[in-house]
Structure 1
Amino acid sequence: MDRLQYVTVALSLVLALVLTQVDCSTGLKRVTKAQVRGFDWKNCGKPDDPAVLKTLTVSPDPISIPGNLAASASGSTSVEMAAPLSLNVTLEKEVAGFWVTVPCLEEIGSCHYKDGCDLLNQLIPPGQDCPEPLHTYGLPCHCPFKAGAYSLPQSDFYLPYMDLPYWLTNGNYRVQGVLGSQGKELGCLKIALSLHSD
């Protein structure tokens, strides 16, 4: 899976990192039922950025958590992406009509990750098969990612229960992820959504 598909799955994994994952045992709230509404995305990089997400579709709207999700994506990168791949995440929440940057707290929020390849290795240990449906479609899940075009046909995923920090439950959010290497920007993706939980 290309880095821009990892900008998809990293920014949907940034979303997964931002909204679900991460080892953080303090101040978490168990979400038994939630909905993600108004999911939207766009590239935010420079015209000559090598990594570009071309398509990303997610359904249904609203997305129920726990529940099923259908997603497809395609993109390309004109350069090989190898470690270290820096990932700068900016998370904003709408508060009283203003967008407020959420600070980096216990690796959740607006954080700088020195190497996205390390994050991938933590999520999927090296030597372990890539999870479905990546394995079925021959999409890689570890660095390096070769230059080329990548696509994930429409696939079904199950979104499980999740633990969220108490400050990250209900509201409108914007997430921006900028992928870089050796001081150069490789790609940028913005995601917007509304989260409503019990």
Structure 2
Amino acid sequence: MDKYLTVAVTVSLVVFALITQVNCSSSRMRKVTKAQILGFDWENCGQSDDPAVLKSLSLSPDPINIPGDLTASASGSTSVELESPLAVSLTVKKEVAGFWVKVPCVEDFGSCNYKDICDILSQLIPPGQDCPEPLHTYGLPCHCPFKAGSYSLPQSDFSLPRVDLPYWLTNGKYQVQGVLGGGGKELACLKVELAIQSD
């Protein structure tokens, strides 16, 4: 599954998408016929003066079925222009026997650092190509730079396809923290908690 894209919402949707993206070798992947994401919750975890803030994020239904339909809405703002390079640092933890264990970075999955999300966006959607729906309809950008301002994604429907998941990313509870940085400064921080159940 490709990464979901948007501006101040970028951190939250990138975190969600990096969990389910497909870019690993088949030897590390497990075909999943059906999976569910339960108890999705989020919070801003940055400093009070972080320029980019997620103000709202709503995903339904609960549980989210994969494959299946997802309804999402979000809003956020940034007080500064977000321009390349925009680094994203993910910390993924899985609950094991009552303890939170950090998941290492394996083939771009897990607790990984991504040097420039702008490059990733350009690979997914070549410059000059229209942004995918519903971003195009609502005038939301999907390429860097992102101008300072407020952004809003009204309630929109997405179709989630069947995915391959890493062998370690199956059943369990997870915490994912994503930090967006640029120019040597933290720009935003988002923490997500969820549970995954798959067959």
TM-score, normalized by length of structure 2? 0.95
Deviations 1:78-112 (A, max 9, x none): 00000000110001100000000000000110001
- Counterpart for residue 161 of structure 1: 162
Q: Offset of 1:5 from its aligned partner? A: 1.2
In the alignment, which residue of structure 2 is the partner of 1:73? 74
Q: Report the more deviating stretch, 123-132 or 103-112.
A: 123-132
Query: 1:8 touches 1:73 (CA, 8 Å); kept in 2?
Result: no
- SS of alignment partner, residue 27 of structure 2: coil
2:127, 2:174 → 1: CA distance? Answer: 32
* Aligned residue identity for 1:182: G
> What residue identity is the alignment partner of 2:25?
C
Question: Equivalents in 2 of 1:25, 1:66: separation in Å?
Answer: 19
> Runs in 1 of length 4+ with deviation above 4 angstroms?
none
Task: Give distance in 2, aligned partners of 1:103 and 1:169.
Answer: 15
Instruction: Please give the secondary structure, in 2, of the residue aligned with 1:7.
Output: helix
The answer to whether the aligner puts 1:5 opposite 2:6 as a matched pair is no
What stretches of structure 2 of length at least 5 have no aligned partner? none
Match in the other structure for 1:140 = 141
Distance 2:50 2:103 in 1: 26
Report how far residue 2 of structure 1 moved: 5.1
Aligned counterpart, 1:58? 59
Q: How many residues align?
A: 195
- Which residue of structure 2 aligns with residue 117 of structure 1? 118
CA distance in 2: counterparts of 1:191 and 1:164, whole angstroms: 18
For the Cα contact (< 8 Å) 1:37–1:194, is it kept in 2? yes
Q: CA deviation at 1:174?
A: 0.7
Cα displacement (A) at 1:128: 1.6
- Residue 174 of structure 1 is matched in structure 2 by 175
The aligned amino acid for 1:54 is K
Q: Which residue of the partner structure matches residue 33 of structure 2?
A: 32
- Name the SS for the 1:3 alignment partner: coil
CA gap 1:174/1:8 in 2 versus in 1, 3 angstroms: same
Q: Distance in 1 between matches of 2:84 and 2:59?
A: 29
Deviation at 1:51, TM superposition (A): 0.2
Asked if 1:92 corresponds to 2:96, the answer is: no
Q: Note the C-alpha offset of 1:122.
A: 2.0
> Aligned equivalents of 1:170 and 1:103: distance in 2?
17
With normalisation by structure 1, the TM-score equals 0.95
Aligned to 1:20: 21
Q: Distance in 2 between matches of 1:122 and 1:72?
A: 25
Aligned residues with identical type, % of pairs: 67
Contact 2:31 2:165 in 1 (8 A): yes
Partner of 2:193: 192
2:131 maps to what in 1?
130
1:162-198 CA-partner distances (Å, limit 9, x unpaired): 0001111110001110000111000000111000000
Q: Describe the shift of the 1:132–1:2 C-alpha distance in structure 2 as closer, same or farther (beyond 3 A).
A: closer
- Report SS of the residue matched to 2:138: coil
Counterpart amino acid of residue 106 in structure 1:
E
| AA partner of residue 197 (structure 2) | H
